Amino acid sequence: MTTPLLLAGIDFSCNPSRRKPVTIATGRLDGGVLRLDDDGVAEMPTLAGFAAWLQTAGPWLGAFDFPFGLPREFVDGNGLGASCAEVIASVHASCPTRMAWRAFIDAWGNGRPAGARLLHRRTDRASPVASTSPLQTRYVPVGLMYYEGVARLIASGATLAGLHAGDPHRVALEGYPRRLAHAVVARRSYKNGDDVDRRAARDEIVSALERSQGRDRFGFAVAIDAVTRASLLDDAGGDRLDAVLCLVQAAVASRRPRYGLPEGVDPVEGWIAAD
C-alpha cells in the first residue's frame, strides 16, 4: 500500500529560541481523518534546525505561516526582480542582516505619504480576514519572517507552489492559520494569553477540528491524542495551535487542484493557500 502523503504545518519564528521556537505539526490523511504523527507537534529552537527539517525526504506538502512574496509596487519600485527567487536574492544581496532589511523598508516608506507605507498584496485582502503587510517589520514582524523563511525555502531546493519550481516531492505553501481560527471564534483572541477567555477560544477551535464541524467544512476531522490536545490548550502563545491549523490548511490544499491556488498567481506576490 502507498504511504499517505506527509503533511506539515509550520508556525515560523524569524529568531527562534527555546522560548519561541519554530513549531512544526505533522500528520497524514486517512480517509475522513487527519491523524497527527506520533510525535505530534515538534519544536525547533534554531533556524539551522528548521533548515535541516526542510531536507526531510518527500513526498511532503507543508503550509508555512509567513509571507512568500512582497507587494508588486514595492518590488518594481526597488527593481528587486521578476520572480520569487530573484527578489529574495536581491533582498539578501542588498541587506545582509534582518536589521538592514528593516532599515531598507523604513527608508523606502519614509519617502511615501502616510498610509501608503505598509503596502499589501492582493492575497492579503482576498479574504474577510486580512493578513499583515509583508513590509511590517515590527509588532508582528512578518517582513523579517519573509527575510529568513523564504531564503531558506529556496536554498533547500523545495518547490514553492505557484512561485518557484524545485523538488516536486517537497512542496511549500503559504498558510495563514488565523483564517481558519476566525471561522470558529470570529475576532476573539486565542493567542498571547492564558486568561479564561483565550484558553476557552483555543478549546473551541480544537473541538471544532475534532468534531463533525471539521468534517463538514474540510471533508475530514482531526484526530488529536489527549497529551497533544492538552499541550495545544496550555500553550498561551498559540504557536502549537497555529502549527496544527497550518497542518489542516495543507491537508485541505492536498485535495484541491493546484493546491487551491488561482490561475495566474503573481510571481513576486504569491498567494495564501487558506480555506
What are the grid coordinates assigned to 136, written together? 511590517
The yes-or-no verdict on residue 92 having pLDDT over 60 is yes
In angstroms, the CA 266 to CA 72 distance is 8
Average the pLDDT over 170-188 and give the result: 94
Domain with 270, as residue range(s), is 1-275
The yes-or-no verdict on residue 18 having pLDDT over 60 is yes
Average the pLDDT over 140-148 and give the result: 97
Give the residue among 26, 11, 9 at the shortest CA–CA distance from 62: 9
Q: According to the 3-state scheme, what is the secondary structure of the chain?
A: CCCCCEEEEEECCCCCCCCCCEEEEEEEEECCEEEEEEEEEEEECCHHHHHHHHCCCCCEEEEECCCCCCCHHHHHHCCCCCCHHHHHHHHHHHCCCHHHHHHHHHHHHHCCCCCCCCCCCCHHHCCCCCCCCCCCCCCCCHHHHHHHHHHHHHHHCEEECCCECCEEEEEEEECCHHHHHHHHHCCCCCCCCCCHHHHHHHHHHHHHHHCHHHHHHHCCEEECCHHHHHHHHHCCCCHHHHHHHHHHHHHHHHCCHHHHCCCCCCCCCCCECCC
Query: What region, left, alpha or beta, does residue 173 occupy, with left being phi > 0 and alpha being psi -120 to 50 degrees?
Result: beta
The yes-or-no verdict on residue 223 having pLDDT over 60 is yes
The pLDDT value recorded for residue 148 is 98
- pTM confidence score: 0.96
pLDDT tens, 231-273? 999 999 999 999 999 999 999 999 999 999 999 999 999 999 9
- Based on the structure, what is the number of domains in the chain? 1
73 Cβ neighbours under 8 A, 6+ residues apart: 119
Q: Encode burial over 258-273: b for 16+ CB neighbours within 10 A, e otherwise.
A: ebbbeeebbbbbbbbb
Q: Any idea which of 38-42, 162-166, 176-180 has the lowest mean pLDDT?
A: 38-42
**pLDDT band (50, 70, 90) for residue 114:** confident
Contact predicate 187/178, CB 8 Å: no
pLDDT tens, 30-81? 988 999 998 889 999 999 999 999 999 999 999 999 999 999 999 999 999 9
The pLDDT value recorded for residue 274 is 72
Contact predicate 85/153, CB 8 Å: no
The yes-or-no verdict on residue 217 having pLDDT over 80 is no
The pLDDT value recorded for residue 94 is 97
Q: How far is CA 52 from CA 28, 46, 119, 152, 157, in A?
A: 21, 10, 32, 10, 12
Instruction: Reply yes or no: is the peptide bond before residue 59 cis, omega within 30 of 0.
Output: yes
The pLDDT value recorded for residue 2 is 66
The pLDDT value recorded for residue 212 is 57
Give the residue among 40, 84, 58 at the shortest CA–CA distance from 225: 40
The yes-or-no verdict on residue 215 having pLDDT over 80 is no
